[in-house]
Structure 1
Amino acid sequence: MGGTYTRVGDYYLPALALPAEKEKHIGIWGQRHAKYLKQNHKVLYMNLFTSGRLNEYLASVDALAVDMFFRLATKYSDRQGVTEQLKSENQFLWIQKMNNILACVREVVENDIIYS
């Protein structure tokens, strides 16, 4: 027989190994995208996994989503006049506006990057 096999009981099974992949940090956005791929795009997920590029791909999606999230949050807060001055004058209004901004930005990032 060609290749490497391991005997398990009465059977010889091929000794398969996935290609080595450099571990990178995957944040919440990358984890959400991985879950989405597992549920909705199984072939793409398995192709990335078996080729050893899944971790790198998810890390790049995470970095892109984090960058977009902070960029949009800053942009939206500037547009709506949410400043440090507002925070010191009226904390409850500042919290209300920031929660609204963050919810909107989260939805945009999820629709544009995570679930597409």
Structure 2
Amino acid sequence: MAKSLFEELGGKYEWQGDYLIPCLTISAEKEQPIGTWGQRHLDYLKKYRKVTYINLLTSGRLNAYLADIDRQAQERFKRLIEGLKQEQGITEQLKAENALEWTGRVNNIRACARGIVNNEIIFV
């Protein structure tokens, strides 16, 4: 019996009842840690960009892609926070004088930065 293209490329079959089913495996990719931003983007891909998610998953590039998104989002988040703190004049002196006001203003900045990162990187 002639070999199929799948067998010529190194593929194998296994019996499932009366049928030969190809043994498909996803190539192993290097595991990289994925943070909060990467997890949010993964959820977004699964819900709203299913084709992109499946393509990344089956090509073995999903983990690297999510790690890169996580890194980009974290860097953008930090830059936004520092820029907004300087723009609004939030200093360590304010922190020493009025810790409650400083905390409120920094939390507001973090919420704004989170929204910007979500709109620019995560939910795109």
Q: Is TM-score (shorter-chain normalized) higher than 0.5?
A: yes
Q: TM-score range by the shorter chain?
A: over 0.9
4+ residue runs over 4 A deviation: none
Corresponding residue for 2:70?
62
TM-superposed CA distance for 1:10, in Å, is 3.7
Corresponding residue for 2:81?
73
SS of aligned partner of 2:14: strand
Listed as ranges, the gaps of 5+ residues in structure 2 are: none
Residue deviations 1:30-72, cap 9 Å, x none?
1100110111110011001100111111111100000000000
How many residues align structurally? 116
Corresponding residue for 2:20?
12
Larger Rg: 2
Percent identity (aligned) = 51
In the superposition, the TM-score normalised over structure 1's length comes to 0.94
Distance 2:46 2:83 in 1: 33
Listed as ranges, the gaps of 5+ residues in structure 1 are: none
Distance 1:61 1:33 in 2: 8
Distance 2:19 2:91 in 1: 69
Q: Over the residues paired in the alignment, what is the CA RMSD in angstroms?
A: 1.1
Distance 2:17 2:93 in 1: 73
In the superposition, the TM-score normalised over structure 2's length comes to 0.88
Corresponding residue for 2:55?
47
Q: 1:109 aligned to 2:117?
A: yes
Q: 1:31 aligned to 2:39?
A: yes
Distance 1:32 1:9 in 2: 41
Q: 1:86 aligned to 2:111?
A: no
